[in-house]
Amino acid sequence: MRVDPFYTTNLASALDQTSTMQQQLTQEISSGVRVTSIGDDPFAAAENVQLLGQIQGDDSFTQTSSMTQGMLQVADSALGSVVTQLNQAISLATQANNGTLSTSDLKSASNEIAGIRDEVLSLANTSYQGQYVFGGSQTETAPFTLDSSTTPATVTYNGDENVNTLTAPNGQSIPINVPGDQIFTSSTASVLGALNNLVADYANGSSGSGVTDLASLNSALNYVSQQRVTVDNSITRLSAASGAASSEATQLTAVQTNLMQADIPAIATQLALVASQQTALISVISGLGQGSLFDKL
């Protein structure tokens, strides 16, 4: 009968392997984590990296979306206040155009509309966390400045026409601003232009072109309302996309946890088996120390 000359060496190697396995299984039970390095499970480790990237992307979008929704809500509130101010100006101009007001009353109406114009200008320069919301991509500079040295006064737009967007994890691009010139100084319906014209109309105590400029202000009011709908749509889309990203992050976290966490009952069973194997190996090796290998044959 042939005797394996490496019998003892193989037994010692097997004992080392069971000891290593025992340490690994004990560590998994202690930490609750199955994969701690690429070598433990290369495929699981690679999938874990991908999952973590997706989760981080979802979390980042959710945080950015929250701040952006805050900015859009401020913009929406500002436009709501603009609508209120314009309705007041329309009421004043309507009274001024009915032919019953005195020269003094018309001048008073001009001053009141000028105050409304200044309030609308302030709303057009609304900022959120230090960023101007109606300047397009030029968020560091007040988008509108008034020059009252002319008659009627003029307003300059200092921003740009860029529409900023935020890309959701599913790839949809959501506009997150409306450039201020589209709202307040549009060539088709200029809010500030109509207000400046009405101020000039009544400043000398006469109605001037009040009827025409009032019609322009009514058109501007409708246009502001339309732009406000655009802002509200962006808020709705961001809210939906943020909710979807948050839900996806939760689902992916559960997948990632299941992928990486240790199966405690299964590992406990495996650990008991390894312990039995180790005990058996130690017994065999101890027996070899009590006589020659030929005595065991």
Chain segment 124-133, per-residue pLDDT in tens: 999 999 999 9
Q: Which residues pair with 147 in a beta bridge?
A: 154
Structure tokens at 86: 């314009």
pLDDT at 253: 84
Report yes or no: 254 and 175 within 8 Å, Cβ to Cβ.
no
- In degrees and rounded to multiples of 5, residue 269 shows phi and psi of -65, -45
Q: How many whole angstroms separate alpha carbon 54 and alpha carbon 170?
A: 11
How many beta carbons lie within 10 A of that of residue 40, not counting itself? 14
Three-state SS at 245 = helix
Report yes or no: 217 and 198 within 8 Å, Cβ to Cβ.
yes
pLDDT at 103: 93
Q: Taking the model in full, what pTM does it have?
A: 0.73
Report yes or no: 265 and 49 within 8 Å, Cβ to Cβ.
no
With CA atoms as reference, report the closest residue to 172 among 28, 65, 268.
65
pLDDT at 11: 58
pLDDT at 296: 46
pLDDT at 65: 94
Q: How many whole angstroms separate alpha carbon 137 and alpha carbon 73?
A: 18
pLDDT at 293: 45
> Tens-of-pLDDT digits for all 297 residues of the chain?
454 555 556 656 665 666 665 666 566 555 555 555 555 667 777 887 888 899 999 999 999 999 999 999 999 999 999 999 999 999 999 999 998 899 999 999 999 999 999 999 999 999 999 999 999 999 999 999 999 999 999 999 999 999 999 999 989 999 999 999 999 999 888 999 999 999 999 998 888 889 999 999 999 999 999 999 999 999 999 999 999 999 999 998 888 777 666 555 655 566 567 566 667 666 666 666 555 544 544
Structure tokens at 70: 């805050």
**Residues 185-210 pLDDT 10s:** 998 889 999 999 999 999 988 888 89
Q: For domain 49-254, which architecture applies?
A: Up-down Bundle (1.20)
Distance of CA 288 to the CA centre of its chain: 69
Element (H, E) at 291: none
CB neighbour list of residue 148: distance below 8 Å, 6 or more residues apart: none
